[in-house]
Structure 1
Amino acid sequence: MKKISVIIFGILFTYSCKAPKIVETNPDNIEAVTPVSETVNVEEEVIEEKSRKAIPTTSFSKSKDVGDIISFLSSDDLKGREAGSEGIEIAANYIEDIFKENGVKPYFEYYKDTISNYEKPAYNVVGVLEGIDASLKNEIVVIGAHYDHIGLIAPKNGDAIANGANDNASGTTTVLELARYFATTKNNKRTIVFALFTAEEKGLLGSKDLAKRLKERNINLYTMLNFEMVGVALQNKDYFMYVTGYENSNLAQVANDYSGEKLIGFLPSAKKMNLFKRSDNYAFYEEFSVPSQTFCTFDFTNFNHYHGVDDEAELMDFNHMATVVNKSIPMVTGIVNATTKEIKFN
């Protein structure tokens, strides 16, 4: 995330992290369960909402799966993944290899897409899985996260590498696992673009560049789902994740209907600090005027190493991260396969 006042962190830091247990169900059981009873003589939007069906949480992603990815991306060899650096080039190649291994095709001619608004050579890494439905495949869902961080900073106990495990190797890991899932199941009716952004820490430059390019192509963008700082669990909340811009759309309700639980909730401090405009979702909202929001489990109280050298992989909760992926799969599946565009502005 972009720079936020240290004073705010000092005021809000009160809790410690504890991971929820992964829900173990049959990963192949992706069929819908019994629908909610029909409601008559109500508005069309209410009918759509009531007719959604919960999709069981899978156990597709394991703690080792997410641990391997985030440990590589936040290793010292990558030197904090600053945009335009040799370290982030290694990260870009790693992401490209994962796309290739899983049959995710490059969206442009190459996976690495040079951005035009940064002084150094820097790349978004963009893959695509075409939808399987003849009509719905013309609608696109972008699933994204930024993979850059802030590089080398003032040393602390001899360590100057801001590894950026939570910010945002965790979100990058989530997107790569979702890409692996949909590439494996091949059940997405809409086309999914998986976008890993560079230069978020320089002012959301990577997402701004890609959103502009996609707008110039006049794509039919349904929604943009962004993942940011999901490496540790929320504490003392009655929901699992929150979305920025919660009040802007019905995304939380749609996600909760498909997950069959209160997966997404409202974090007042996210609204107070206007986090909706502080991550890569915002560029797509500005360019396309469609619901574009960020999922997060960092609430300024459960992780005290933001933009520091201590943001290391060993502090991440791999079980929680696997649960983020597994709980997101039913939500994303429902969204990309719905017969109509259910996510709407409030």
Structure 2
Amino acid sequence: MKKNLAILLVTWVFTGCGTSKNTAIDVADFSSALSIGTHMNLLASDDLRGREAGTEGIGKAASYIAKTMEGYGLEPYYSVFQDTLDNFEPAAYNLVGVVRGSDPDLRDEVVLLGAHYDHIGIVRAKEGDSIANGANDNAAGTSTVLELARYFGKAKTNKRTLVFALFSAEEKGLKGSEHLARKMKAEGVDLYAVLNFEMTGVPLQNKDYLVYVTGYNKSNLASVANAHAGEKVVGFLPTAESYNLFKRSDNYPFFEKFNIPSHTFSTFDFTNFDHYHQVGDEAELMDYGHMARVVNKMIPVVEGIAISKDREIKLN
């Protein structure tokens, strides 16, 4: 789209501080290191014990996410924000919120923004630390989706319906996304595209783009995204293809069930972060300024996809 999407001014009603005021906000500066840190410092804290699916720790994360979605003006997609997985025990929950589309001709088309919020929990101790906090994997992606939910929950500029889904049990074999994909397919949901976020906590190095997308050649998502951003935000990472990352994150069950454009955005390239699935994946190593930049660059991308008259994203 045009660059004016990237500098769109909106009226924002702040909630969560006990007061409300109207403030014009430049989308380019919407998210900040401070707002990102609010999510990260909770989700990647020792108190959550590594957020393994089915544990008390991830239950605390689920409660936080549900309250946050509600505070941001989202509605539960189902009767409540927590949607119990039918393919995993002990009990585990996806968190699914929605901002209904405003256009009567487009509101039945759904764009899903997702990330998994679980991690691997308690592991073998290293230097006295046994908590795999999962800051980059994937409190980072979760925080990205929550910030996008904060924007659209108040701006409500989307003509298509936006579903914000935070998945559990990804680390157990994509169980949360498989559950929701199967459920939405059975319900006859008109799912247009899935934009998933995974490990966005540290920046890529020596690249001419901000994020890469898995399954780059499976659709024209990258070119559509860059057109709406007004710059090259999304690029191709050869490693993502050689490691077949397209099938290794929560985008994949939706691709399997719906055969639609369904991709994951990431900034982890196996060279810029050394603590994958280790106790060293701590919030203090994350670059909150970078994460806020990812959110701010993705707002016009999501907005453009959500308001475009036609379904621009197509499988190759």
Q: TM-score interval w.r.t. the shorter chain? A: over 0.9
Which residue in the other structure is 2:266 paired with?
Answer: 296
Counterpart code for 2:314: K
Q: Distance in 2 between matches of 1:181 and 1:133?
A: 18
1:29 to 1:68, Cα distance in 2 relative to 1, 3 A: closer
Q: Report the number of matched residues.
A: 297
Which residue in the other structure is 1:173 paired with?
Answer: 143
Name which of 198, 207, 224 aligns with 1:254. 224
Q: Distance in 2 between matches of 1:80 and 1:281?
A: 23
Bigger-Rg structure (1/2) = 1
Q: Percent identity?
A: 59
The alpha-carbon deviation at position 27 of structure 1 amounts to 5.1
For the 8 Å contact 2:10–2:155, the answer to whether it is kept is: no
For the 8 Å contact 1:175–1:227, the answer to whether it is kept is: yes
> Does the residue aligned with 2:28 lie in a helix, a strand or coil?
coil
* Pair 1:80-2:50 in alignment: yes
Name which of 235, 243, 264 aligns with 1:265. 235
CA deviations on 1:226-265 (whole Å, 9 max, x unpaired) are 0000000000111110000000000000001111111111
Which residue in the other structure is 2:35 paired with?
Answer: 65
Q: Distance in 2 between matches of 1:178 and 1:109?
A: 22
Runs of at least 5 residues in structure 2 that lack an aligned partner in the other structure: 1-5, 12-25
CA deviations on 1:84-128 (whole Å, 9 max, x unpaired) are 000000000000001111110100111101001112100000001
Which residue in the other structure is 2:287 paired with?
Answer: 317
How does the TM-score come out when normalised to structure 2?
A: 0.92
Runs of at least 5 residues in structure 1 that lack an aligned partner in the other structure: 1-24, 31-55
How does the TM-score come out when normalised to structure 1?
A: 0.84
Which residue in the other structure is 1:95 paired with?
Answer: 65
Where do residues 93-172 of structure 1 align in structure 2 (5 Å cutoff)? 93-172=63-142
* Pair 1:28-2:9 in alignment: yes
Q: Distance in 2 between matches of 1:67 and 1:324?
A: 14
CA RMSD of aligned residues (A): 1.2
* Pair 1:237-2:207 in alignment: yes
For the 8 Å contact 1:27–1:59, the answer to whether it is kept is: no
* Pair 1:339-2:309 in alignment: yes
- Structure (1 or 2) with the greater strand fraction: 2
For the 8 Å contact 1:255–1:264, the answer to whether it is kept is: yes
CA deviations on 1:166-206 (whole Å, 9 max, x unpaired) are 00000000000000000111111000010000000000000
* Pair 1:307-2:277 in alignment: yes
> Does the residue aligned with 1:136 lie in a helix, a strand or coil?
coil
> Does the residue aligned with 2:9 lie in a helix, a strand or coil?
coil
> Does the residue aligned with 1:83 lie in a helix, a strand or coil?
coil
Q: Distance in 1 between matches of 2:199 and 2:286?
A: 10
Which residue in the other structure is 1:208 paired with?
Answer: 178
Name which of 179, 187, 191 aligns with 1:221. 191
For the 8 Å contact 1:27–1:60, the answer to whether it is kept is: no
Counterpart code for 1:193: V
For the 8 Å contact 2:82–2:95, the answer to whether it is kept is: yes
Which residue in the other structure is 1:327 paired with?
Answer: 297
For the 8 Å contact 2:9–2:27, the answer to whether it is kept is: no
Q: Distance in 2 between matches of 1:26 and 1:206?
A: 35
Counterpart code for 1:341: R
Counterpart code for 2:52: E
Q: Distance in 1 between matches of 2:204 and 2:10?
A: 28
Q: Distance in 2 between matches of 1:186 and 1:140?
A: 14
Q: Distance in 2 between matches of 1:140 and 1:266?
A: 26
Which residue in the other structure is 1:47 paired with?
Answer: none
Q: Distance in 1 between matches of 2:256 and 2:135?
A: 28
For the 8 Å contact 2:47–2:57, the answer to whether it is kept is: yes
